[in-house]
C-alpha cells in the first residue's frame, strides 16, 4: 500500500529538476558566484536549459543524519514552492549555514530573496 501524493501532479519535484551529477556540483562550487544571508548560502550559474535545476548540500557540521536529512527535505520543499516564481535557466546549489535554524516559511523567504539577488548577478541586469 503506497500513499498517493495529494497535490496536483505539477507540484512534484521531478528528477529532471535535480542536479545529480558530481561534475555539475563541482562546477557550481568552483565557478559560480554566491550570495547568502543568515540562513542560507546560494550558488548559481546559467545552465542553457529552459528550466532551472536544484541541489542541496548539507555538511556533517549540521549534526547527525536525521537532522541533515530533515534540512534537505525542508530545502527541497522550499524550492518546490519557490519554483513557479523563479526564472528559468539556472543551476542552483543551496547550502544551509551550520548555525542556522529555520522554518519552511523562513526557508522560502530566504530562497526567494537570494534567487532574486543571484539572478541579477548572473544575468547582469
Q: Please report the pLDDT score of residue 14 as a whole number.
A: 74
Beta-bridge partner residues of 46: 90
CA distance 18 to 57: 12
Domains annotated for the chain, with CATH where assigned, are 17-123 (3.30.230.10)
Average pLDDT of the residues of the chain: 87
Q: Please report the pLDDT score of residue 66 as a whole number.
A: 95
Q: Please report the pLDDT score of residue 12 as a whole number.
A: 66
| Alpha-carbon torsion (113, 100, 11, 19), positive or negative | positive
Contact present, 45 and 32 (Cβ < 8 Å): yes
- List, for residues 90-112, the tens digit of each pLDDT value: 999 999 999 888 999 999 999 99
Amino acid at each position: 500500500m503506497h500513499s498517493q501524493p495529494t497535490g496536483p501532479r505539477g507540484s512534484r519535484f521531478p528528477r529532471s529538476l535535480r542536479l545529480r551529477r558530481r561534475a555539475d556540483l563541482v562546477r557550481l562550487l568552483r565557478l559560480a558566484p554566491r550570495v547568502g544571508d543568515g540562513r542560507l548560502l546560494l550558488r548559481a550559474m546559467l545552465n542553457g536549459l529552459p528550466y532551472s535545476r536544484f541541489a542541496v548540500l548539507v555538511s556533517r557540521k549540521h549534526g547527525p543524519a536525521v537532522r541533515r536529512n530533515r534540512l534537505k527535505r525542508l530545502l527541497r520543499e522550499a524550492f518546490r514552492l519557490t519554483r513557479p516564481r523563479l526564472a528559468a535557466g539556472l543551476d542552483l546549489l543551496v547550502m544551509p549555514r551550520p548555525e542556522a535554524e529555520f522554518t519552511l516559511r523562513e526557508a522560502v523567504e530566504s530562497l526567494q530573496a537570494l534567487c532574486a539577488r543571484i539572478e541579477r548577478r548572473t544575468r547582469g541586469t
